[in-house]
């Protein structure tokens, strides 16, 4: 059997890629990690850029962003995606069915398996931690990177952070690529509510059954312009998540209307297609099994 080699092509993303690889390797008899594809190995890639051909593609996030086009994917031998909605979309776009395998999303395994546990924090509870009845919500802001500024709330939303902290327990988690930040797992596990724009954290939060508020006044128009036909566009157009149309509206949701913020059946139905419940907590094992079969 060929050695399974994980390709860490972009150093700025190493921490992100580590978060996907760590849950997989306990189920592999051996593996290697390199900056470039290796001959006589089954190379696992996390990016489509500068791809030399062959190997397996394992996306480094759940977001769509029209990133996984058939033209970009054609040189891979196998494509591992998180759920059936992704499979159906790629097949509709012309990706051969036999190249696609549903394998889940290994990054969140540590939370689902209990390795990363929520801190002593529960919304409006007297029984855990130091929170009292009517306590502030723990709110995580997790924006996408601003390579395309129109679809990101970073850095614009920073100007609201100070004021928002008067109303909630506010945690800021900028995109970890090229920064000192690590992938947002503990903060995600702890959060009551997640604020975002077009980030994979939207989908990760829903997989963990947390309510999501989209910062619509900062990102919606850009998403309609830059990401037509994406799952992100669907989130906004169909109001699958809660939406804040201004900072005042956001504060209202997080204070006056905070008891209305729930993980809804609409969110549940949507995320089931993106990342099905049957694979939550078992994605690392599922991916490892497929790689060894290949």
The pLDDT of residue 58:
97
pLDDT beyond 90 at 237: yes
Tell me the whole-structure pTM to 2 decimals: 0.92
Give DSSP secondary structure letters for the chain.
-PEEEEE---GGGHHHHHHHHTTTGGG-S--EEESS--TTEEEEES--TT--S-SEE--S-S--TT-S-HHHHTT-SEEEESSHHHHHHHHHHT--GGGEEE---GGGHHHHTTSS---S--TT-SSSTT--TTPPPEEEE-PPPSSSGGG--TTTTHHHHHHHTTTSEEEE----TTSSPPPSSHHHHH-SEEEESS-HHHHHHHHTT--EEEEHHHHHHHHHHHSTTSHHHHHHHTT-SEEESSHHHHHHHHTTTGGG----HHHHHHHHHHS-GGGTTTHHHHHHHHHHH-
Q: Is the pLDDT of residue 128 over 70?
A: no
pLDDT confidence bin for 134, thresholds 50/70/90:
low
What pLDDT digit, counting tens, does each position of 11-44 carry?
778 888 999 999 999 999 999 999 999 999 999 9
- Per-residue pLDDT, 10: 80
Could you tell me the pLDDT band of residue 121, with boundaries at 50, 70 and 90?
A: low
Position 147 scores a pLDDT of 87
What pLDDT does 269 receive? Answer: 98
User: Please, which pLDDT band fits residue 105 given cuts at 50, 70 and 90?
Assistant: very high
Domain residue spans of the chain: 3-105+277-293, 111-274
Position 294 scores a pLDDT of: 85
Q: Would you identify the CATH topology of the domain 111-274?
A: Rossmann fold (3.40.50)
Q: What is the per-residue pLDDT for 126?
A: 36
């Amino acid at each position: 059997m060929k050695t399974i080699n994980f390709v860490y092509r972009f150093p700025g993303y190493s921490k992100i890629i580590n978060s996907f690889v760590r849950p997989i390797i306990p189920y592999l008899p051996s593996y290697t990690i390199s900056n470039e594809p290796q001959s006589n190995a089954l190379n696992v890639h996390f990016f489509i850029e500068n791809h030399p051909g062959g190997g397996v593609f394992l996306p480094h996030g759940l977001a769509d962003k029209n990133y996984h086009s058939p033209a970009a994917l054609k040189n891979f031998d196998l494509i591992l995606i998180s759920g059936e909605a992704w499979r159906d979309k790629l097949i509709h776009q012309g990706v051969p069915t036999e190249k696609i395998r549903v394998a889940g999303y290994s990054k969140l395994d540590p939370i689902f398996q209990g390795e990363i546990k929520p801190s002593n924090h529960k919304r409006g509870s007297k029984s855990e931690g130091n929170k009292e009845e009517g306590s502030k919500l723990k709110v995580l802001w997790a924006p996408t990177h601003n390579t395309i500024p129109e679809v990101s709330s970073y850095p614009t939303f920073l100007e609201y952070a100070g004021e928002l902290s008067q109303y909630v327990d506010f945690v800021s988690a900028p995109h970890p690529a090229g920064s000192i930040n690590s992938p947002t797992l503990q903060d995600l596990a702890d959060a009551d509510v997640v604020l975002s724009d077009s980030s994979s954290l939207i989908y990760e939060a829903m997989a963990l059954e947390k309510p999501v508020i989209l910062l619509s006044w900062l990102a919606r128009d850009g998403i309609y312009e830059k990401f037509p036909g994406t799952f992100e566009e669907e989130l906004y157009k169909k109001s699958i998540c809660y939406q804040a149309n201004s900072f005042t509206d956001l504060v209202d949701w997080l204070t006056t209307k905070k008891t209305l913020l729930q993980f809804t059946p609409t969110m549940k139905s949507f995320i089931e297609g993106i990342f099905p419940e049957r694979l939550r907590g078992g994605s690392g094992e599922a991916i490892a099994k497929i790689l060894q079969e290949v």
